[in-house]
Amino acid sequence: MVFQPIHEEEQVFVDYAIELVKKAGTLVRTAFDSPESKVDTKSSNTDLVTETDQAVEKLLIEGLSERFKGHRFIGEESVAGGAKIEWTDAPTWIIDPIDGTTNFVHRIPMIAICVGLAIKKQIRAGIVYNPITNELYLAQLGKGAFKNGFPIRASKNQFIAESVLILQLGSIRSPVMQKSFVDSYKTVMFDKQCHGHRSFGSAAINMVMVAQGSCDGYVEYGIHAWDVAAPSIIVTEAGGVVTDPTGSPFDVMSRKVLCAGTAELGRDLSACLTHVDFEPEA
């Protein structure tokens, strides 16, 4: 099937966003190479923000809004500052200026600038850029997924017992989240005997690892739209699947995600999980 753009300027939108993301990457790389960052906390001691997060989001939103009038924005730091999430049919940029802020603070080079484009509430494009490793992932609906210009493909593995899986525990450390994580981890690692477990500290990095076939599946509860919007289309355009952890259709606002190289593995993984529900963000 050939997918046609649903906005005549869609390619212009994406090309300009890539330019801005690369500029933002220079800012992030410079800050990463400096001795330290000014760090504040948001909702908890595990939810961090730096001045670089805020500067990158400002650069991206100001640049896009000046070029494309009438576009909407859902940005992590804007929402943290009190902005309301408005999920409409208008072209909407969903932005995480640094996914993996804890990694950034501790100078662990697994971070990502994430920019997703939704039109009529459909994710149409995703950019995930790690400026430390200089890896830029890009996907547009119907056009495939790429890393630094080269096509990537998700694995064809169907079985947990032959998989490397990612179960990540984010900033929410409630008793419910603890039980979900421990029970699910025990099942896939010990009962199902998967090949191994990895967790990279960034939802976007986790998802592009699945998209490029390095890992076979990933699950996380308590994430946000800006964590998963951009990488979700990279996974699906690489041939993988993205769903709700329960197996229901994926909702970018649902605060949970499961992705896998194959639908069969996704279903098997879903059946192993102790699920947690969240109030949708919009």
Q: Which is catalytic among the residues 10, 53, 57, 76?
A: 76
Q: Which is catalytic among the residues 10, 53, 99, 237?
A: 99
Q: Which is catalytic among the residues 53, 96, 216, 220?
A: 96
Whether 40 contacts 48, CB under 8 Å: yes
Using CA atoms, how far residue 234 sits from 17, 32, 39, 204, in Å, is: 16, 25, 30, 10
Q: Check if 236 is active-site.
A: no
Give the H/E segment covering residue 243: strand 241-243
Q: Check if 281 is active-site.
A: no
- Residue tagged 């595990």 (tokens): 46
Q: Check if 98 is active-site.
A: yes
Q: Check if 76 is active-site.
A: yes
Terminal Cα-to-Cα distance of the chain (whole angstroms): 31
Q: What is the CB neighbour count within 10 angstroms for residue 36? A: 9
Give the H/E segment covering residue 124: strand 122-130
Amino acid identity of residue 184, one-letter, is S
Whether 142 contacts 1, CB under 8 Å: yes
Whether 243 contacts 225, CB under 8 Å: no
**Nearby residues of 52 by Cβ (< 8 Å), 6 or more positions away:** 27, 28, 31, 37, 97, 98, 104
Q: Which is catalytic among the residues 50, 52, 92, 101?
A: 101
Give the separation between CA 223 and CA 235, rounded to whole angstroms: 17
Q: Check if 96 is active-site.
A: yes
Give the H/E segment covering residue 92: strand 92-99
Q: Which is catalytic among the residues 74, 94, 95, 98?
A: 98
Q: Which is catalytic among the residues 220, 227, 237, 268?
A: 227
Catalytic annotation, residues: 76, 96, 98-99, 101, 227
